[in-house]
């Protein structure tokens, strides 16, 4: 289907966040735009997180909303007049109301089909509280795409049909290290410093793990409002000298960091299909993760990761110790993970997106007839 002339120079709008800051959905938006363009489509990017100009506006809540939304809505209206399809990257909370809802209704008003590409592990929480506001918009979309069976089930409970198209991992940037360095044990947490990711449990698990591996070190790659609090916690736990808070890193820096570590800890309390797990798998890094949300749909216990209950530092430390002391298990997890992640390469995902677009465009054509 990639060679279908229908897709040569097909004009589409891709609406979503872009780095900086780097993050799962922002990286996916930028990567998908590039890959679609390389596949022959004409992509107009509409960025939802443009920097404020002047900068001081970002400090005034009501004014900053106006300064961001007014040009955003104007650009959506203009772009809708130039494209055949609008693809919006969607998330829960205010992001849905402010950025996704306008795309759907502008598309409807201008007769342009809209694909909602929904991400985020907090969908159930969000829908349970805001469904009466979400539903009128979501039923106007021509297609809802989700990256996992976990989200598919959440939408199905609300009688919304979805199509699964997985996230994309760039295997040209994320790949295993060819050389095994003789170095101190190095663990990684690659999540933002926010309550939902429960970095505190990973720090407490690291304390327990250091009893068996006293020279081990931990890198925490991400940024967020809990930075100071987590730094103080590391100090109280007596591990401050062994823990590095790297701040937010770009894709190239993250790829290098993955290749320098022995294990990834993912302590999140809610999740969908975290890109950090795919990146770790692609770099040959064994994973210990909580078993929340869509994670069991992404990795299989004992085959591609070890899974533990959320908030259980002792279980996380035991699972990590098991991997670090069992080279056969570690090697098996690496090999199985590398095989699994091939399913998320663009060579596999491209056809799924083109099939989704073709279905939407054919549906529009039938309506016009």
* pLDDT one-digit tens code per residue, 68-96: 788 999 999 999 999 999 999 999 999 99
228 Cβ neighbours under 8 A, 6+ residues apart: none
Between these two residues, 120 and 129, which has the higher pLDDT value? 129
* Phi-psi category of residue 88: left, alpha or beta, with phi > 0 → left and psi -120 to 50 → alpha: beta
Q: Confidence class of residue 215 from pLDDT cuts 50, 70 and 90?
A: very high
pLDDT one-digit tens code per residue, 218-265: 999 999 999 999 999 999 999 999 999 999 998 899 999 999 999 999
For the chain, the C-alpha Rg in angstroms (whole number) is 21
Instruction: Tell me, yes or no, whether 152 and 228 share the same domain.
Output: no
Q: Is residue 177 part of a domain?
A: no
pLDDT at 88: 99
Whether 295 contacts 122, CB under 8 Å: no
The total number of structural domains that make up the chain = 2
In percent, the amount of the chain with pLDDT more than 90 equals 83
Contacts of residue 305, Cβ cutoff 8 Å, sequence gap at least 6? 277, 286, 287, 288, 289, 299, 333, 337
Residue 366: other Cβ atoms inside 10 A: 8
CB 53 within 8 A of CB 68: no
- Quote the DSSP letter at residue 241: G
pLDDT of 20: 79
CATH number at residue 13: 3.40.50.2000
* Model confidence at 66: pLDDT above 70: no
Q: Which helix (H) or strand (E) holds 287?
A: strand 287-290
199 and 73, same structural domain?
A: no
Pair 25, 143 in one domain: yes
Do 277 and 234 fall into the same domain?
A: yes
pLDDT digit string, tens, across residues 337-349: 999 999 999 999 9
Residues 324 and 351 in one domain: no
Residue 191 · residue 222 · CB < 8 Å: yes
Residues 322 and 355 occupy one common structural domain: no
Measured distance CA(334)–CA(280) in Å, rounded? 9
Question: C-alpha dihedral over 63, 66, 67, 71, to 10 degrees?
Answer: 180
In a domain, 178, yes or no: no
Instruction: Specify the range with the lowest mean pLDDT, choosing from 57-66, 111-120, 219-228, 240-249.
Output: 57-66
Shared-domain flag, residues 208 and 270: yes
Q: Three-state SS for 128? A: helix
pLDDT of 64 reads: 62
Rounded mean pLDDT of 13-23?
87
Q: Is the pLDDT of residue 54 over 60?
A: no
Q: Cα(22)–Cα(5) distance, rounded to whole angstroms?
A: 34
Residue 137: the pLDDT is: 98
Mean pLDDT (the chain, rounded): 93
Asked if residue 175 is part of any domain, the answer here is no
Same domain? 202 vs 149: no
Q: Using DSSP bridges, classify how beta strands 163-164 and 143-146 pair: parallel, antiparallel or unpaired.
A: parallel
Q: What's the rounded mean pLDDT across residues 111-117?
A: 98
Q: Classify residue 251: in a domain, yes or no.
A: yes
Q: Kindly report the CA angle at 43 between 16 and 166, in degrees rounded to 5? A: 55
Residue 235 is assigned to a structural domain of this protein: yes
Quick one: 135 and 232 in the same domain?
Answer: no
DSSP secondary structure string, 161-215?
--EE------TTTS---SS------EEEE-S-SSGGG-HHHHHHHHHHHTTT-TT
Same domain for 325 and 351, yes or no, is no
**Is 39 within the bounds of a domain?**
yes
Mean pLDDT, residues 202-207: 99
Stretch 19-47: mean pLDDT: 92
Residue 320 falls inside a structural domain: yes
Q: Which domain holds residue 301?
A: 186-343
Q: Please tell me the predicted confidence (pLDDT) of residue 6.
A: 62
Q: Are 141 and 118 in contact (CB under 8 A)?
A: no
Asked if residue 67 has pLDDT above 70, the reply is no
Spatial distance between the Cα atoms of 200 and 203, rounded to a whole number of angstroms: 5
What pLDDT is recorded for position 68? 74
pLDDT tens for 313-356 read: 999 999 999 999 999 999 999 999 999 999 999 999 999 999 99
- Over residues 293-319, the mean pLDDT reads 98
Identify the pLDDT of residue 104.
99
pLDDT at 192 over 70: yes
**b/e burial code for range 85-113 (CB count within 10 A of at least 16 → b):** bbbbbbbbeebbeebbbbbbebbbeeebb
Which of 148, 86, 152, 361 is closest to 274 using CA atoms?
148
pLDDT band at 57 (very low <50, low <70, confident <90, very high): low
Strands 85-90 and 42-47: unpaired
């Amino acid at each position: 289907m990639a060679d279908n002339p229908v897709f040569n120079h097909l004009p589409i709008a891709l609406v979503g966040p872009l780095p900086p800051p780097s993050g799962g959905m922002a990286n996916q938006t930028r990567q998908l735009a590039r890959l679609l363009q390389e596949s022959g489509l004409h992509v107009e990017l509409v960025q939802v997180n443009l920097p404020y100009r002047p900068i001081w506006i970002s400090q005034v809540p009501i004014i900053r909303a106006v300064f961001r939304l007014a040009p955003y809505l104007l650009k959506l209206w203009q772009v809708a007049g130039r494209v055949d399809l609008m693809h919006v990257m969607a998330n829960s909370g205010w992001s849905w109301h402010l950025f996704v809802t306008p795309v759907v209704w502008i598309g409807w008003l201008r007769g342009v089909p809209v694909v909602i590409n929904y991400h985020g592990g907090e969908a159930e929480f969000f829908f349970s509280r805001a469904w009466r506001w979400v539903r009128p918009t979501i039923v106007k979309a021509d297609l809802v795409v989700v990256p996992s069976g976990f989200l598919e089930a959440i939408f199905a409970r609300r009688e919304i049909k979805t199509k699964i198209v997985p996230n994309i991992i760039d295997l040209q940037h994320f790949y295993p290290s060819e050389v095994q360095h003789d170095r101190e044990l190095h663990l990684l947490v690659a999540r933002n410093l926010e309550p939902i990711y429960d970095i505190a449990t990973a720090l407490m698990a690291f304390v327990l793990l250091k009893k068996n591996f006293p020279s081990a070190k931990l890198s925490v790659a991400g940024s967020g409002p809990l930075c100071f609090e987590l730094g103080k916690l590391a100090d109280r736990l007596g591990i401050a000298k062994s823990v590095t808070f790297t701040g937010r890193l770009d894709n190239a820096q993250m790829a290098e960091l993955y290749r320098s570590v022995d294990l990834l800890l993912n302590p999140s309390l809610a999740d969908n299909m975290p890109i950090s797990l795919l990146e770790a798998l692609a770099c040959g890094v064994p994973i210990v993760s909580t078993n929340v949300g869509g994670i069991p749909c992404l990795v299989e216990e004992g085959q591609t990761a070890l899974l533990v209950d959320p908030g259980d530092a002792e279980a996380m430390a035991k699972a990590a110790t098991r991997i670090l002391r069992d080279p056969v298990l570690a090697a098996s997890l690496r090999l199985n993970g590398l095989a699994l992640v091939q399913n998320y390469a663009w060579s596999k995902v491209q056809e799924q997106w083109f099939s989704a677009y073709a279905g939407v465009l054919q549906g529009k054509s039938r309506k016009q007839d």
